[in-house]
Amino acid sequence: MNFNQSISAFERAQRSIPGGVNSPVRAFKSVGLNPVFVKKAKGTTITDLDGNQYIDCLASWGPMLFGHAHQRILSAIGEAAENGTSFGAPSQYETEMAERIIRMVPSIEMVRMVSSGTEATMSAIRLARGYTGREAFVKFAGNYHGHGDSFLIKAGSGAMTLGIPNSPGITKGTAKDTLMAEYNNLASVEALFQEKGSEIAAVILEPVAGNMGVVVPSKDFLQGLRDLCTQYGALLIFDEVITGFRLAKGGAQEYFGILPDLTTLGKIIGGGLPVGAYGGRKEIMEMMAPVGPVYQAGTLSGNPLAMAAGIAMLTMIEEQPDLYTEMERKAARLEDGIRRNLATTNIPGVINRVGSMMTLFFTDSPQVTNLEEAMTADTERYASYFKLSLESGIYLAPSQFECLFVSYAHTEEEIDRMIASNLEALKAIGR
């Protein structure tokens, strides 16, 4: 493949944008390449500036359940844009979006829209502190909740990919209120509650970790967190920015049957446009201004274009009865093919999958259930694997510690191509 136009675009971008990108993992730094610059995307196909085409397995980091540039979503955006792109005032789009989220997500009785997942998680923590009157909260090593100061301590996603999980600029005062626990290790959380239970406002986690690669929670772990939060009067917050509407209509909380007190959402509810939301029980949400004393605001919150796109997306989800069974079937087929390929090539690896989210870890470890085990992955081998996959027309996450997403739009032929590409790449890196 020829990448000349992308190389030139990256050189130009670096003169005016730090690192040439507006989100660090896009830089392809951990896979030793220059980033591919995308010109357009339609369905499951991405086309770069040089005209190279790829089967997209990234789905804009999750939200494209039905593929890129779906006509219903484009039409909804166009119709909304005819009436104005931003009001800074209430519109019925916001109410309809809220009503749909409340109908679909089991634990949410009221919801507040924001413009990003980071805003949602920051606001949820502030609300939990305001509601409980406590300051500390528990997070898990390898979980990523956006780039808010309190969260960038042993964080996942780009911070983990680039090897900078503790960002400069985070004050000691901020860090002291962030209590770290180990994912899938309930005892580590119990110890924190035994020591500081009266100070802990909330426990926040990705109910399926997607930012240290996919790491699957045990049912006992999630239920144990629910029980501990109830026992000590802390709030349980599920960060469902990735899992919300991807694993089930009601997200991971429906999938696992565990209800949090607060939920953060993003990605899918914007149909590909910038968006975020947080919601929960009415008594908690009514602590937010203008009803209550906890303040949060945003000029572009509930933006009509994002709301219109999100409403179209949620409508399509509700109208497609086989959505989750089909994504499960396709993802299971892809997983089975990769497992056969690993066995054929005798390359050590662990595949973690929940629904349509999946990660292949290149590791000798028998399992990956937490950050420590995820970090045993061979990132150099992944970099070689990524490069070979890209050259064969498969667009994966440019990091070992992210997800592959299967969409409803992926065809049987495309799944077969992914499996075939995987086999050829594994053969090449195994030499």
Just list the catalytic residues.
144, 239, 267
Decide: residue 199, CB within 10 A, 0-12 exposed, 13-18 middle, 19+ buried: middle
Determine the residue type at 241. V
| 110 DSSP β-pair partners | 280
| 43 DSSP β-pair partners | 68
The strand ranges marked E within 184-327 are 200-205, 235-239, 262-266, 276-280
Beta-strand relationship, 110-114 and 350-354: unpaired
Pairwise CA distance, residues 110 & 263, whole Å: 11
Count of alpha carbons within 13 angstroms of residue 360, beta-carbon side: 30
Could you give the 3-state DSSP secondary structure of residue 114? strand
First-residue to last-residue Cα distance in the chain: 22
Contact (Cβ atoms closer than 8 angstroms) between residue 206 and residue 228: no
Q: What is the DSSP string of 298-333?
A: -TTTT-HHHHHHHHHHHHHHHH-TTHHHHHHHHHHH
Q: Which residues contact 138 (CB under 8 A, 6 or more apart)?
A: 179, 180, 181, 189, 192, 200, 202, 203, 204, 234
Q: What are phi and psi of 358, to 5 degrees?
A: -155, 145
